[in-house]
Amino acid sequence: MPATNLPSLDHHWMPFTANRAFKAAPRLVAEAQGMWFRDIDGREILDGAAGLWCVNAGHGRREIADAVHRQLLALDFAPPFQLGHPGGFALAERLSAITPPGLDRVFFANSGSEAVETALKVALAYQRAIGQGTRTRLIGRERGYHGVNFGGMSVGGMVANRRSFGPGLPGVDHLRHTHGVPGNLFARGQPPHGAELADDLERLVALHGPETIAAVIVEPLAGSTGVLLPPVGYLERLREIATRHGILLIFDEVITGFGRLGAPFAAQKFGVTPDLMCVAKGLTNAAIPMGAVIASRAVHDAIVSGPAGIELFHGYTYSAHPAACAAGLATLDIYAREELFERAAAMAPAFEAAVHRLADAPHVIDIRNLGLVAGIELAPRDGTPGARAFDAYLDCWREGVLVRVTGDIIALSPPLIVEEPHIDRIVATIRLALERVG
């Protein structure tokens, strides 16, 4: 769309955006293909963030568009309550083929936020179904991000996402985060120190009593807060503690799922299987909104084997939407045919080497990476935290590269089709931006 034919910018209230500043100098894209966006002036922008951690197979995949087109003409919608269509069952079966063994029951939602809300409710329903109805407490983690609905906001630990909206859900507590452990700066891959931070769950068990805690939810790798990696042994320790106390372990894999870390899911990358797993983003390559909770058979059966009738009073109008299922099936075909999960693992060493070349760039105080995700942490400006990274983001945009910023951290998560020249350009552009932001 030519800039001269723009619609009014007044009416669209944009999410997680400084609306007044954006509308004074808008950044608008009109097309996308492969590794590239094209803005409304025809300028190419290299996508270093897979959109928003989600376009794992690259932009403009015709196979997905064609599958959605065919599906909309054949069956545009089917009510998901007391009715089904083959696509939902087919996608659930295909997902179960790539999840960790034992996680093979799929409940569809429409986003990562909805997947988290679903998982929290399933955890509560499970504890009630097995006669543990006193277990109503939910445990999140400081600096965690689990979407923006009330459940996800409550178990999340990002202050700005919470402060305007009241106390949130009752009976929620938080583990300590894993950031800032001495000896972990500039670690390549999983940091060596900090496994003992998982013992914070023992502290909360002692504080509240194990009979009150239903579930603990963590991101295996925390993305939106600035790429915080789990220390070696941390997730294994958390799994053991949760199991010992009858607490369900939920992994929020909305970002880490579908190849981002070089495996289908972080659960396989780290060798730790949760009881419930939330997915979204890469599930449909972001072509159609969709999320899902993948439950263990034990959790599913405890709820579904109860009294006859509706077992779980929960769902969404667009659960397993036919077009989203078609997009999901086509996306899984691409991942398998092009071996993109394996490709991400193969590209990870080159990506790691490139981002760590920024260790001597101005203002850089830490670099963290795993798979095809990295966080470059900057020293904040006095009195204006986040300003330096956002200025770097704008500088990169002007130079034709899209990165993601959160606070004073630049986050990278390129599509899994990324090539070494793309990586080199992203890193070189960041270096120049850091030299200019002052």
Taking only the tens place, the pLDDT of each residue in 138-158 is 999 999 999 999 999 999 999
CA distances to 28, 47, 282 from 426, rounded to whole Å, are 20, 9, 22
Confidence of residue 6 (pLDDT cuts 50, 70, 90): confident
| pLDDT given for residue 179 in this prediction | 96
Place of tokens 């939810």: 217
Distance CA 95, CA 290 (A): 13
What is the rounded distance in angstroms from the CA atom of residue 304 to the CA atom of residue 117? 19
> What is the percent of the chain with per-residue pLDDT over 90, rounded to a whole number?
98
What are 82-116's pLDDT values in tens digits?
Answer: 999 999 999 999 999 999 999 999 999 999 999 99
Write b or e for each residue in 412-423: b if 16 or more Cβ atoms lie within 10 A of its Cβ, otherwise e. bbbbbbbeeebb
Alpha-helix residue ranges (DSSP H) falling in 54-111: 62-74, 86-96
Q: Is the pLDDT of residue 127 over 90?
A: yes
Q: Which residues pair with 367 in a beta bridge?
A: 376
* Residue 419 to residue 375: CA distance in whole angstroms: 19
pLDDT for position 111: 98
Distances (CA, A) of 212 to 40, 207, 291, 327, 355: 54, 10, 28, 40, 44
Q: Residue 308: its pLDDT value, please?
A: 84
Is residue 293 over pLDDT 80? yes
pLDDT at 333: 98
* Span 111-139, average pLDDT: 98
CATH 3.40.640.10 domain span(s) along the chain: 65-337
- Average model confidence (pLDDT) for the chain? 97
Average pLDDT over residues 202-215: 97
User: Residues 285-303, buried b or exposed e (16+ Cβ, 10 A)?
Assistant: bbbbbbbbbbbbeebbebb
pLDDT in tens, 389-403: 999 999 999 999 999
Average confidence (pLDDT) over 188-214: 97
Judging by DSSP bridges, how do beta strands 373-378 and 276-279 pair with one another?
Answer: unpaired
Task: Calculate what percentage of the chain has a pLDDT beyond 70.
Answer: 99
Q: What CA–CA distance (Å, rounded) separates 194 from 192?
A: 7
The whole-number pLDDT of residue 5 equals 79
pLDDT higher than threshold 90 for residue 165: yes
User: What are the residue ranges of CATH 3.90.1150.10 in the chain?
Assistant: 3-57+340-437
Residue range 191-195: mean pLDDT, rounded = 97
CA–CA distance, 261 with 344 (Å, rounded to integer): 7
Average confidence (pLDDT) over 274-302: 98
Nearest to 321 by CA among 12, 68, 46, 28: 68
pTM score of the predicted model: 0.97
Strand partners, 139: 173, 216
> Strand order in 36-39's β-sheet?
29-33, 36-39, 44-47, 401-402
Mean pLDDT to the nearest integer, 114-122: 98
Q: Give the pLDDT score at 95.
A: 98
Q: Does 3-57+340-437 carry CATH code 3.50.50.60? A: no
Rounded mean pLDDT, 266-276: 98
**pLDDT score for 2:** 52
Let me know: does 430 contact 71? Beta carbons within 8 Å: no
Q: Which overall architecture, per CATH, does domain 65-337 show?
A: 3-Layer(aba) Sandwich (3.40)
Average pLDDT of the residues in 270-287:
98
Instruction: Round to whole Å and give the CA distance between 125 and 302.
Output: 9
Q: Which residues contact 294 (CB under 8 A, 6 or more apart)?
A: 95, 96, 99, 103, 104, 105, 106, 276, 277, 279
Q: Using the predicted structure, report yes or no on whether residue 159 has a pLDDT greater than 60.
A: yes
- Say if residue 3's pLDDT is above 90: no
Average pLDDT over residues 2-23: 89
pLDDT of residue 38: 98
Alpha helices in 110-199 (DSSP H): 112-129, 150-155
pLDDT tens by residue, 354-386: 999 999 999 999 999 999 999 999 999 999 999
Res. 306 pLDDT band, cuts 50 70 90 = confident
What per-residue confidence (pLDDT) applies to 4?
A: 61
